[in-house]
Amino acid sequence: MSLSETTAPLTRRGIPVERDLRVLALGSFANRFGAGAVMTTSALYFTRQVGFSAAEVSFAIAASAIVGILVQVPAGHLGDSRGPRKALTLFMVGAALTSALPVLARTPWQLALLLGLLALFERSAGSVQQGVIAQLATGGRGVLFKAYLRAVTNTAIGLGSVFGGAALVIDESWAYVSVFVLNAVFTGFAAWNTTRLPDLPAYVRGEGEPRLAVLRDWPYVAVVALTGLFSLHFFVMELGLALYISERTSAPPVMVAILLILNTACVALFQVRLSRRADSVQAGARALVRGAVWMAVGFAIISLADRGDAEFAIAVLVVGSLAHVVGEMIGSGGQWGLQMGLAPHERQGQYQGFAGLGFSVVSVVAPPVVTLLCVQMGETGWLVLGALMLAVALVSVPVSRWALASRERYGVLSHSG
């Protein structure tokens, strides 16, 4: 890569300099805006308006998550072999056409089927898009652009949730349905937006090369297992912290929303800045360790929140959450540096689809684990979580070194980061 590529600014006045990256950012914003509105309202719509129990809704969501796990790697491979941009458009059109269908469900099985169909297209599009990002954000800017996209999508979800909140206030069936329709419209715009991206060449497998080579790439499998386990901290802050506040501290329940807003604002403002030092495999592993240190400190502080009155709990929760979000932003950059830097450039779709499996699998087992540690074990559980984050990050350093050496040995290196 040339010096001009590595030193060229990613954005100017908050907007990507390169046209293709602007297109990707716009599509991501539109897609996540609609998703933010649905995330805010869907559970209450199906329980309060349709009449499903919480357990039935949870079953349907879990079933759709399994569909997402199954399709991620094949979808990424399809994008590589058929052309990433064409596959992305196809999957996004499918997502737009199925986004509003769950409102038609009148039994839990129908809901599971329709959410699963939507997950098929959404998760497939997500896998292919990760490969597109890796191919377009070249010159060492892959990690920075993913950081930029995370800030953009967090902002979009926050704004979309405002529209979802309006439906909650109205609390009428038509208002909830309109949120699903809004999501379909914005997803349709995002699908059209992908047609503005350049056609990217399809990858042609060599003779004797396995169709899903990533499944035999044991160093990469090990790295994905570690980064997936590291992702446990997301569920700690989204689920564990909320339950911990309500069941073990004197802090008011509204602190859950306040801390979520604080996290979102920090990510929107500082994610890119705190990801600048994670643009290679070695730097990514070091960033993972730095992020884990901040998280461990944050968890240790949060663990003290059940020791005092409401004012003490509020202060401790804010300080601990701020320490965590710093670690979250640094650690996210580290995860991207490892996942993108170790993937062959021509097969980024397949590899990034597999990288997403780490998070997807953890999302299935995280809720009971997080509940046990954060709520039932209390202070000890928070300290165990901090130690786990540190251990995973420290192990990632020699593992990433091994993975990088395996690529240098066979001349298989990514040009994305």
Q: What is the pLDDT of residues 130-155, one digit of tens each?
A: 889 888 887 667 888 988 998 899 88
Average pLDDT over residues 302-326: 95
Q: Which of 37-41, 144-148, 171-175, 269-273 has the lowest mean pLDDT?
A: 37-41
Of all helices (H) and strands (E), which one includes residue 11? strand 11-12
Query: Any idea which of 36-40, 182-186, 206-210, 411-415 has the lowest mean pLDDT?
Result: 411-415
Mean pLDDT, to the nearest integer, of 184-208?
A: 86
Using CA atoms, how far residue 268 sits from 151, 189, 368, in Å, is 4, 23, 29
What pLDDT is stored for residue 306 in this prediction?
A: 92
Split at pLDDT 50, 70, 90, the class of 210 is low
pLDDT score, position 139:
67
229 and 262 co-located in one domain: yes
**Which candidate, 348, 350, 331, 330, places its Cα nearest to that of 340?**
348
Question: What CATH number did the domain enclosing 329 receive?
Answer: 1.20.1250.20
Confidence of residue 40 (pLDDT cuts 50, 70, 90): confident
214 Cβ partners below 8 Å, 6+ apart?
Answer: 73, 220, 221, 347, 350, 351, 354
The reply to whether 327 falls in a domain is yes
Cα–Cα distance for residue pair 370/376, rounded to 1 Å:
9
The residue among 214 and 46 whose pLDDT is bigger is 46
Tell whether 146 is covered by a domain. Answer: yes
The answer on pLDDT for 316 being more than 60 is yes
SS3 per residue for 168-219: HHHCCHHHHHHHHHHHHHHHHHHHHHHCCCCCCCCCCCCCCCCCCHHHHCHH
User: CA 350 → CA 39, 81, 214, 282, distances in Å?
Assistant: 28, 9, 7, 22
More confident residue, 238 or 31: 31
* Top-confidence residue, 39 or 196: 196
Q: Are residues 146 and 60 in the same domain?
A: yes
Residues 217 and 183 in one domain: no
Same domain, 181 and 226: no
Residues 258 and 177 in one domain: no
User: Does residue 275 belong to any structural domain of this protein?
Assistant: yes
| Pair (152, 269) in one structural domain | no
Q: Rounded CA gap, 32 and 152, in Å? A: 9
337 has pLDDT over 70: yes
Split into its structural domains, the chain has a count of 2
Residue 126 forms part of a structural domain: yes
**What share of the chain has pLDDT > 90, as a percent?**
45
Q: What is the pTM of this model?
A: 0.79
Q: Is the dihedral of CA 403, 404, 409, 411 positive or negative?
A: positive
Query: pLDDT per residue over 274-313, tens digit each?
Result: 988 777 888 999 999 999 999 999 999 999 999 999 999 9
Same domain? 245 vs 362: yes
Q: Find the range with the poorest average confidence among 123-127, 167-171, 187-191.
A: 167-171
pLDDT at 402: 93
Averaged over 5-34, what is the pLDDT? Answer: 85
Q: Which residues contact 327 (CB under 8 A, 6 or more apart)?
A: 233, 290, 291, 292, 293, 294, 295, 296, 297, 298, 389
Let me know whether 251 and 322 are in one domain. Answer: yes
The pLDDT value given to residue 207: 60
Examine the pLDDT at 416 and tell me if it is beyond 60: no
- For 195, the token pair is 């047609």
Q: Do both 244 and 171 map to the same domain? A: no
Q: Is residue 11 included in any domain, yes or no?
A: no
Which span out of 30-39, 40-49, 340-349 was modeled with the highest average pLDDT? 30-39
Enter the tokens of residue 74: 């094949």
Q: 200 in a domain, yes or no?
A: no
CA distance linking residue 47 with residue 37, whole number of Å: 17
Distance CA 244, CA 22 (A): 40
CB atoms within 10 A of CB 69: 17
> How high is the pLDDT of residue 206?
60
204 is a domain residue: no
pLDDT value at position 72?
86
Q: Mean pLDDT, to the nearest integer, of 26-38?
A: 92
Do 259 and 358 sit in the same domain of this protein?
Answer: yes
DSSP, res 280: S
- 27 and 105 together in one domain: yes
Does residue 208 form part of some domain?
no
The string of DSSP codes covering 331-347 is: HHHHHHHHHHHTS-GGG
C-alpha–C-alpha distance, residues 320 and 298, integer Å: 4
pLDDT attached to residue 415:
41
Q: Pick from 162, 194, 226: which residue ends a domain?
A: 194
Query: Does 188 lie in the same domain as 138?
Result: yes
- Residue 372's identity, in one-letter code, is L
pLDDT of 8:
66
What pLDDT does residue 5 have?
43
* Range of the structural domain that residue 135 is part of: 18-194
- Which has more confidence, 387 or 259? 387
How much is the mean pLDDT over the chain?
Answer: 87
pLDDT of residue 362: 86
pLDDT of 276: 82
Confidence at residue 107, expressed as pLDDT on a 0 to 100 scale: 94
